[in-house]
Structure 1
């Protein structure tokens, strides 16, 4: 069926007619050829009238619309699994899942080519990402490639495949594979992908490959959740915790061993335990305890006995790194505010190999359970320096405070850090610690205990405060020039000291000369009262190195080791186990203990990355905020690696540091030999209203034929429109006609002597 129509310019046929009449009148009135014969005049008028008529037709813009009824071509998307799990056995004993899938796909591709007039296929391979569309490019090849994908992300594969056809009606998505979702954090959640199918009315046809079964059909022992690194001082007891996952081993005892390998010696079995599964798929905790003796770096391994018939053996062991340090300064840190100094202070102190930090949090929601039993460690006096931050005196208890006062008099060091429950607000007036602290306190300062009670801010400096050096002291020498205090971020507040005792020495004060850090000596011990509690801002604003030096110097001075000269070169990784090709960042630095100061800009770093085969490559670093940062190259190969750093200053060695780490291959695609048929059933059921189902590989062609026939039953009216001048061919034709008319007109006039 066809229809003719007109679309005149300015939507006015009368205007077009008027223009035509005006032009015809114009050529009839203008007579520049009076000497011409009538015949010649008729020729010229006829040519020009014909041009005007053609121009009028063009301005009317005639068009034709042809409507045809056609059957719809079916659009089918096929997704094939290309992960390593497809190398597992299929339901057919002599074939792997990959081989079975390849056979099925070859048969299906032949079927689709035979139906090329009725179907428009799309073919993608998937792992944790989607391949390029392959239909029409490589579908005739026998084996496209071997499966190499390390993870499966079904949600992303389905969603990206459907999104590749925007605005196109898709009649089916065929999902081939084993149904295992192994990607830890998929880009698109499976439910989101299925919701998109349901919204667009697309059925999911699942074609599973592999063997279906329950946990008893496969056996596996796996060691998991072993921490990546341990750090302990020699002579201390260390606890190693992990879990053993036992599948298909109900009632069968299995041995789990803890092994220790020094950097220069043979492996030793430290302890052997036995675990027994009480369920078909069970998790049993594993705990080892031993005493760390000799200082050094060790490879620690927890390994489980292999089960008969176990297919995956790589997960039977997990390793970690153990660093045993020589006995150092023992620091006990009690704090009552998790938002205060504790996080950055612990980082600063823990990175020093000469400081053994023990910390404990004291709650202040209610005083009903005070004294807190965690404060009883003070009686044992097994510490060299005690730090108290925002801890109420009653939470510690009078007996414990008396033990602290006695310990300080005998030579221990103590530092009290600011907070709402420190100094006078924390009820230390008339406590055993009152004569120890170098500041004055008043009874009216006392802060009531309770989460719902208001803070008495009148006894605090509730403003930003910049610290200034009042006199040189080992605690305020953070760098050689002394200008660093003008650059450090301001404190967010501080305790307001009511006064300073005669024995106290103010070494830091505010711009208004309010004392912020006061030192003194009590008996044989040293004491520091620090009103601030927000130096953690230094690290967060780019001054991590001065912060580390600040806290370490406090500890060394309190322990009477401020004259100890020691350089510690360190390397730090956030973790010790990485998956292949992970982005691995590290930090490095130099901590100088004692009075020596180094110019960091003059230090030269030589950092080398070495693998187990002793192949080495140099790693570059860049300094940022007193810390050097670097990025390791992509490491695709699993194994043990070592990062070794040496620092020199004007040609002389400052020190060395070493850190070991692992690239592990967890093989999630090989950890379970069973296909997840239930996954296919769940996904297909969610699109059942549109025809979603799970089919056997040999039934796929029959189901696709049904999809194609159903799509062909849908008749679609297709309109094909044409308009004069709108297509290139008609526009060129008009141009040629008009050009021809004007050319003939010009030639005639030239022949007759008119031009």
Structure 2
């Protein structure tokens, strides 16, 4: 729509425009002039006096002018301008690395930071007049700091942060300003990232600042720049605190090394194993080479433990020529080697709910190691599949077959499974559209292994309702048919009462019968007596055939413990575990490596072999200190476990020992070791990292971001406060006739004028 601006202003920020109904303003005015000419040139009636003629003409001209105004649609546009306050973010380093020398004098980096902020107080006060100031202190977390109206920052007297996380804290600081204009971000610190596993990488946080806010980042590096001559150092920077593995299972130990000042030099790295008597054994040694200055190198060791127990691992590098800091040359971790770990292979044809929840239930047992594999039905051209070498070597204790057709495994693999069971391994087949008879297992080596009968029609190529005859429609209530370890899902002796509240199964395979041979038993059945779970033996091995495939419903409806217990007992029975009645005492530490003064959380408890907690177990917990003194610890108790917290001040090796009893009868003992390391990662890196700070500022270069010297901070803050404020404009438009408040008066005026003209003409005899 065409718009014309009439060249006069009602106020500095008010203008009058027109929006003609048709054409342009010129066209509307021309139409009005034409109407005026017609009115003026129209000859008056002879009976009218001159005065009456001009009265009618005046009314007609008024109507034309009113129509002209209505056709032009005058519009008043009011522009309200208000200053828009931006947000300036200042982040000051509060980690312990700021206790190191600043490099320009004997003062610490933290004192240099405080002095720079004090010198900037006037500039901060001026900046706060036009900009909202957010001041934070950061280490691994972010803490907002108060700034008074005089620009004085109320920082702590000394830094205490044990780690530095640049990316996560920067991301948190800018995330709270979504929807606002960020004028600038000032990042003060030495630029050394010491947090091992940040939630947000520093480069990602800088990219967020650029993309989401288009704001500059000013990086202010505090501290000396290291070089190969002044800051030679090798350090074991990262090593997991805890490893758990079964006997005779390969353990992979990965560690991250950092080197400075030894480019091109081969440096030995050693992995040492310490047993409970502190006897040591070197189990791995490698040479690593620093590819570039300040680079990090990952080293990997492998080890196969032969004896169960608790051990300590240590990754270490010897002291290098010219190295000043040696406390970071080694790092310890703890290794728990479990005895009797069970290996289970689970093969299924689809990622079903049953597969997901069964896998989760078995993985919750520390003595069961589950390997699972989905065999894609869409890749039938590649059937039969190749199974892992560990399967070929017979290293699995039990095999679970889910909804998988016999042709996917092939005659060779099925024969191998049959041989494994005959030699003492366990086999479980779970219900499915491609299990048992419908899965074409009749005539395969597993047909003789399974404890159920298979009809030849089950594998026929039926469709629709004819195929449904081989399945039981749900809901199906599973009822125990025999007293057996597998179906004891509750400590109660009343198994029927324990199974009654469980949600029914969605459907199940229909077994045409069970084999009438010794050792075959029906363990679960439907309300109509149809078998659901059948046990049997083949050679020296045990076999279970389970017609259901929806026990996940139990866990989804609040019966998680029953679900876990059922599947754990299935596996334990299959592999002939003779220690089903053995109770377990356990202790869990939230950390295995702490700094002096750190707080250790301890959780402990006792449970049955089925995984049920023993709520009335009495626990005696003792903390063994580095000097050998034993300190009793009191834990608070709930139904499943006992927990507590203790502060560890001295450095050195500690141990937590737990002895459990029930009604005066010993249940067992457990022990967990940990190490308090007097190694401050913040103080182990002497040099600042201006390159990292420069890289962050470079992300916002287009918005003006750059690196600053500490002395430039006051001037930069002053410059920011003197920049013209952005103005937020709010435009209001009011059109004549565009609202009832103006449209009705115009209409009434038009009707009045036309009515008056008609009334006069009638009165004077012209109508």
User: Normalised by the size of structure 1, how large is the TM-score?
Assistant: 0.68
Does 1:178 find its partner at 2:219?
A: no
Tell me whether 1:646 sits opposite 2:659 in the alignment: yes
Partner of 2:427: 414
Deviation at 1:430, TM superposition (A): 0.4
The one of 212, 228, 242 equivalent to 1:228 is: 242
Aligned ranges 1:18-417 → 2 under 5 Å: 79-92=91-104, 94-109=106-121, 124-127=135-138, 128-135=141-148, 139=152, 145-152=157-164, 174-180=186-192, 184-185=198-199, 189-193=205-209, 198=214, 205-212=218-225, 219-222=233-236, 224=238, 226=240, 228-233=242-247, 236=248, 238-248=250-260, 249-280=262-293, 282=295, 284-310=297-323, 313=326, 315-326=328-339, 328=340, 331-336=343-348, 337=350, 339=352, 357=369, 359-361=371-373, 363-365=375-377, 366-374=379-387, 377=390, 380-382=393-395, 385-417=398-430
The answer as to 2:608 corresponding to 1:591 is yes
The Cα offsets for residues 387-409 of structure 1, whole Å up to 9 and x where unpaired, read as 43344433443234334434444
Shift of 1:508: 0.2
In 2, the alpha carbon distance for the partners of 1:165 and 1:373 equals 55
Equivalent pair of 1:475/1:557 in contact (CA under 8 Å): yes
Distance 1:540 1:307 in 2: 58
Checking the alignment, whether the CA contact within 8 Å between 1:610 and 1:617 is kept in structure 2 is: no
Q: Note if 1:500 corresponds to 2:514.
A: yes
Q: Secondary structure at the match of 1:98?
A: helix
How far does residue 319 in structure 1 lie from its aligned partner after superposition? 3.0
Q: CA separation in 2, counterparts of 1:219 and 1:259?
A: 21
How far the C-alpha of 1:256 sits from its partner, in A, is: 1.4
Q: Distance in 1 between matches of 2:567 and 2:726?
A: 80
Cα offset for 1:515? Answer: 1.6
SS at match of 2:143: coil
Query: What is aligned with 2:549?
Result: 533
The answer to whether structure 1 residue 487 and structure 2 residue 504 are counterparts is no
Q: Is residue 492 of structure 2 the alignment partner of residue 465 of structure 1?
A: no
Where in structure 2 are the equivalents of 1:414-563 lying within 5 Å?
414-446=427-459, 459-461=470-472, 463-478=474-489, 479=491, 480-482=493-495, 483-503=497-517, 504-539=520-555, 541-561=557-577
8 Å CA contact 2:206–2:700 kept in 1: the answer is no
Cα shift at 1:651: 2.2
Residues 468, 485 of structure 1: 8 Å contact kept:
yes
Deviations 1:341-392 (A, max 9, x none): 5666566656767x56463525234244444332665565455544433444
Q: 1:529 deviation in Å?
A: 0.9
Flag the 1:621–1:396 CA change in 2: closer, same or farther, 3 A.
farther
CA distance in 2, matches of 1:606, 1:99: 48
In 1, are the aligned partners of 2:191 and 2:688 still within 8 Å (CA)? yes
CA contact 2:583–2:609 (8 Å) conserved in 1 = yes
Give the SS at the match of 1:397. helix
Paired residues of 1:331 and 1:387 also in contact (CA < 8 A): no
> Aligned partners of 1:581, 1:463: CA distance in 2, in Å?
56
Matched residue count: 624
Structure 1 residues 279 and 442: CA distance shift in structure 2, 3 A: farther
Where structure 1 has 5 or more consecutive residues not aligned to the other structure, the ranges are 1-70, 449-454, 715-755
The equivalent of 1:748 in structure 2 is none
Equivalent residues of 1:221, 1:306 under 8 A apart = no
CA distance, structure 1, for counterparts of residue 426 and residue 554 of structure 2: 25
On the 8 A contact 1:90/1:211 being kept in 2, the answer is yes
Output the TM-score relative to the length of structure 2: 0.67
CA distance in 1, matches of 2:634, 2:576: 40
Structure 1 residue 242 displacement after superposition: 1.0
- Partner SS for 1:333: strand
Q: Is the 8 A contact 2:363 2:369 kept in 1?
A: yes
Structure 2 contact 264–289 (Cα < 8 Å) conserved: yes
- Cα RMSD of the aligned pairs, angstroms, is 4.9
**What is the CA-CA distance between 1:568 and the residue it aligns to?**
2.4
Question: What is the distance in 2 between the residues matched to 1:117 and 1:659?
Answer: 54
8 Å Cα contact 2:127-2:717 kept in structure 1: no
Q: Evaluate the alpha carbon distance shift between residue 376 and residue 239 of structure 1 in structure 2; reply closer, same or farther with a 3 A threshold.
A: closer
Distance 1:431 1:585, change over 3 A: farther
User: Conserved in 1, the CA contact under 8 Å of 2:241 and 2:592?
Assistant: no
Give the SS at the match of 2:250: strand
TM-superposed deviation, 1:664: 7.2
